Amino acid sequence: MTNPIDFNSVLSLIDRTISPTYLSATQEIVLREVWNGKTYSKMACDYNYDPEYIKTVGCNLWQILSNAFNEQINKSNFVPYMRQKISCSIVVNKKDELQISSSKSLPSDFYHWATAPNTEHFIGRDKQMKLLESWSQDLNCNCIVVSGMVGCGKTSLITKFAKDIQNQFDYVIWFSLNNSLSPTTLTNNFLKIIGQNQDQKSNSGSTQQDLSSLLAQLINHLKQKRILLVLDDLESILEVHQVGICYQRNLEDYGHFLRSIIATNHQSLMICASRVRPKSLEYYGMNQIKILDLQGIEESTIEQITNLDNTKIEKTKLLDLSTRLHCNPQLLKITASHLNIFHDDNEDLEQVVQELCLVEEIVSLLEQELDCLSKLEKEIIFWLAISCKPIPQKDLANNLKHAQSKIKFNKSIASLEKRSLIVKDNSQHSLMPIMKSYVRRKLVQLAL
């Protein structure tokens, strides 16, 4: 039988109870697996530990928990005890003002959603949600980055996901970096939000402190509590250079900020959305960071997202057009609001795409997308745009203005594929049709 209570709620309760000490990674494994009904010997085998060692970790754990909860807790009564304890804490306790009601929501002070978008109409993305869920449960994972083309649905996905798992955390704090906050201000903001809810008010934020000491305080909170930090628009602090992706001028300290959160041991999680794939972050902690390259939405959700399920536009035509937009939800929504582009039922879709390239919002979106690309990636896009048919990788490499290292070239191709800007079919590359039409138009304008 599956346990109706999520283990993270158990972990959260234990963390709060044993604070200021906290569980080691092995102790957490033992608790999680006892919760899942595993024996010590099975755990030892699965995690490659000596069975005696696991037993000792277990014995110590029951001692710690018995002292903390003032109750005799052992391996056999741990699950029922915790289940009962959590069920009790879910009941509204007005005196404590900790209204963990049946809707499982914590008081709003513990949630800071700032300008997070409404996700009421969010649909689909089941596969991606499951993947994010499994990463968020991974004890080693401190940071998840959802990266992808402009308008592909990154903000919607991370926000919906964060809302879905919010009750597994003591705090959820959502921030957008699009106003290029300095890392010191951002850390200060985090500390202020957490400080407001502390029994003893934290003095952070009230005095001028340097980034290192603010980060040390933040990390301490991330260790003591389970905090979900959601950072949208990470690309705002990044810049695409010929040599790779760097931090914007004067925001280089974000390296320090991100490295501290990614590479330190704690029990919290940071989820970011970024138009630019911040590859170098992986070097901060290979196991601690997971990157999801987000592509367009599922075909089955197109009609609903575009609100075109009730119109007379033919389904096959809509699907065909969506394919030319690589199912980018933002492009689809703009297109849906310009349905007058379809003059008649037999309209050539090629022609429709050409007309879409004149729509201001689409031009702006495609330009923003081009801004996210390196020089080499742009050159590849331009070659694919002027070609009438798909190009084999070797020919594409031969076309380039300057000889490029194979590694660099292959990386650029892979990156464009991940952004769903180019498609590989039978070793031949072709460009997203709407980008192709747009770049062609741009080239003609440049030539005139």
Would you give the binding string for Mg ion spanning residues 173-212, x where CB under 5 A is met? ----------------------------------------
DSSP 325-394: TTT-HHHHHHHHTTGGG--STT--HHHHHHHHTTSHHHHHHHHHHHHTS-HHHHHHHHHHHH-SS-EEHH
Dihedrals φ, ψ of 426, to 5°? 50, 45
Taking the least distance from each CB to ligand ATP, the nearer of 152 and 289 is 152
123 binds, among ligand ATP, Mg ion, none (CB under 5 to 8 A by kind): ligand ATP
Q: End-to-end distance of the chain based on CA atoms, in angstroms?
A: 71
Minimum separation from the CB atom of position 121 to ligand ATP (A) = 5
Q: Pick between residue 231 and residue 416 the one whose CB is nearest to Mg ion.
A: 231
Nearest to 149 by CA among 77, 73, 235: 235
106 vs 302 by CB, closer to ligand ATP? 302
In the complex with ligand ATP, the residue whose CB is nearer, 147 or 217, is 147
Closest distance of CB 46 from Mg ion, Å: 38
Residue 57 · residue 30 · CB < 8 Å: yes
Closer to Mg ion by Cβ: residue 54 or 273: 273
| Contacted by 125, from Mg ion, ligand ATP, none: CB < 5 to 8 Å by type | ligand ATP
155 binds Mg ion (CB under 5 A): yes
- Confirm or reject binding of residue 335 to Mg ion (CB under 5 A): no
Beta carbon nearer to ligand ATP, 124 or 205: 124
CB atoms closer than 10 angstroms to residue 33 = 19
Whole-angstrom Cα distance, residue 88 to residue 138? 27
Taking the C-alpha atoms of residue 245 and residue 113, their distance in angstroms, rounded to an integer, is 28
| Residues in contact with 2: Cβ distance below 8 Å, sequence separation at least 6, in sequence order | none
Distance CA 55, CA 374 (A): 54
| Interface residues toward ligand ATP, by CB under 6 A | 121-125, 150-156, 273, 275, 297, 305, 329-330, 333
* 68 interacts with, out of Mg ion, ligand ATP, none, CB within 5 to 8 A per kind: none
* Cα distances (Å, whole numbers) of residue 66 to 12, 14, 69, 70: 16, 11, 5, 5
Contacts of 8 (CB under 8 A, 6+ apart): 137, 165, 168, 169, 226
Applying CB under 5 A, which part among 38-46, 152-160, 259-267, 400-408 lies near Mg ion? 152-160
Interacting span for Mg ion (CB under 5 A) from 77-85, 151-159, 388-396, 412-420: 151-159
Beta pairing, strands 391-392 & 428-431? antiparallel
Q: Which is nearer to Mg ion, 166 or 274 (CB)?
A: 274
* 330 binding partner (options ligand ATP, Mg ion, none; Cβ < 5 to 8 Å by kind): ligand ATP
Q: Is 330 in the site for Mg ion (CB under 5 A)?
A: no
With binding defined as CB under 5 A, does residue 217 bind Mg ion? Answer: no
Q: H helices then E strands: how many in the chain?
A: 19, 11
The binder of 262, among ligand ATP, Mg ion, none, by C-beta within 5 to 8 A per type, is none
Report in angstroms how near the CB of residue 293 gets to Mg ion at its nearest. 15
Q: Could you give the strand order of the β-sheet that contains 391-392, starting from the edge strand earlier in sequence? A: 391-392, 428-431, 422-425
Q: Are 23 and 14 in contact (CB under 8 A)?
A: yes
**222 or 297, CB closer to ligand ATP?**
297
What is the closest distance, in whole angstroms, from the C-beta atom of residue 155 to Mg ion in the complex? 3
Which one of 6-14, 154-162, 246-254, 370-378 is the stretch in contact with Mg ion (CB under 5 A)? 154-162
Per CB under 5 A, residues contacting Mg ion are: 154-155
